[in-house]
Copies of this chain bind each other. A is one copy, B any other.
């Protein structure tokens, strides 16, 4: 592809200068409209070493108000980043609505480097490509403009540039081993770049190939494509995108009304089992840490279902240095201004750690759906987007445990009333809880749809019958233990 792809002929200097002025003037105007219309713009620079990505990027951003953009240079993944899912360090950099993110290198670099170095084989490469396509599609589906530039220089030109840097003491340090390696294996690199570009050239986020033999001309090409892309994106207000068919294997889930809630434990049973299972979990946490397995425990359920107390019984058994609890309230303005999964990507644990979410990303298909905080197309798309998110976690080898804490309507009323009448519990009950209670049936329907559509084989829902909180706590502990043991067994093989 790189070889067939016809580059635009470089115009005369005079034409470059006049087109350059025009493009810059447009970009300066566009940044205001981008802010007004809340368009998030992600600009990715990839390409050959020494092709001048960094310096072109540096010149482009001079035309943009520094309050409107962020720049990131993607180095080798840090120790910390290596302990997160492959896409983590890229996902957390996506811009807010109305702002730019410029990336000097990104997920393409990660994939092609790992592939060239033999760190991933053909099969793993294909999984990565699927991840990348889903990632980019999720961004554009959610209204992001994603502009991808690939800087191309020929083998000779690359050598010339590297030699020029090497010949001067003051610049020689800038030549890395990888630059030299790439030039020596130029043909091999080109084949791998070619393949990656073809594999990820989606019409909603297409590649733009930049002829980078001349810097000013390279800059103009980027500017013109960028201005054109922004122009197109600004014309679309709210987009409805096709809903994709589920491609993940699903497990059968019961409807809420069919769950029998009469399960209970005596105090004695509870105490004995609590002690036993907490001890067991404590030992397992240690193994998890040594084997570097990440664990994600997600709690959803009715108000007053007993999530807090349940979580406490889990975390009591964990080493405080190895877990975090994330209470999820409504998003902060800077979170709301990004892809709704961003704040969860941001809270992922390191390998070997446990993250417990008290309410989760499923807010999208419950409260956000029912309160109209997102469009219909948004929440309808979300089932698949969430499954894809959990697929990333699963491919990263995480233990994913999702609990729905279930009570009936009468039990909720009892607990609400008790909270109201007990001074030290009054903070736990608000007008909103009462309002939500009025919408019980709507919520029940939404929860049923959620359980049905997101109970994948790799991240199934577990129901905790919590009319008796003791029963629910022991059941949760048992499931957590079971799932961790399953994963430890897998790893052993």
Contact = CB atoms under 8 A, between A and B. Distances in A.
Given A202-B202, A203-B137, A245 B225 contact: yes
Interface in A218-251: 225, 228-229, 232-233, 235-236, 239-250
A171 interface: no
Contact of A239 (B236, B244, B252): B236
A8 interface: yes
A242 B146 CA distance: 10
Contacts of A204: 203-204, 242
Given A9-B252, A137-B203, A242 B232 contact: yes
Counting chain B CB atoms within 10 Å of each CB, the highest count among A235, A244, A245, A249 belongs to A245
Contact of A235 (B8, B207, B240, B247): B240
A388 to B, nearest CB: 12
Interface residues of A, number: 38
Given A235-B240, A241-B232, A377-B232, A246 B202 contact: no
Nearest to A375: B235
A387 to B, nearest CB: 10
A8 B246 contact: yes
Contacts of A137: 203
A247 B203 contact: no
Nearest to A248: B6
A493 interface: no
Given A6-B249, A9-B250, A249-B6, A203 B236 contact: no
A208 B250 contact: no
A4 interface: yes
A206 B243 CA distance: 9
A305 interface: no
A5 interface: yes
A26 B462 CA distance: 34
A209 interface: yes
User: For the complex, would chain A's binding face be called helix, strand, loop or mixed by DSSP majority?
Assistant: loop
Interface string A305-344: 0000000000000000000000000000000000000000
A274 B136 CA distance: 59
Interface string A467-486: 00000000000000000000
Interface string A1-26: 10011101100000000000000000
A207 B377 contact: no
A243 B245 CA distance: 27
A207 B245 contact: yes
A5 B377 CA distance: 23
B203 A228 contact: no
A279 to B, nearest CB: 38
A204 B203 CA distance: 8
A9 B229 CA distance: 42
Interface string A238-280: 0111111111111010000000000000000000000000000
8 contacts: A6-B249, A6-B250, A203-B242, A206-B242, A206-B244, A229-B242, A232-B242, A235-B377
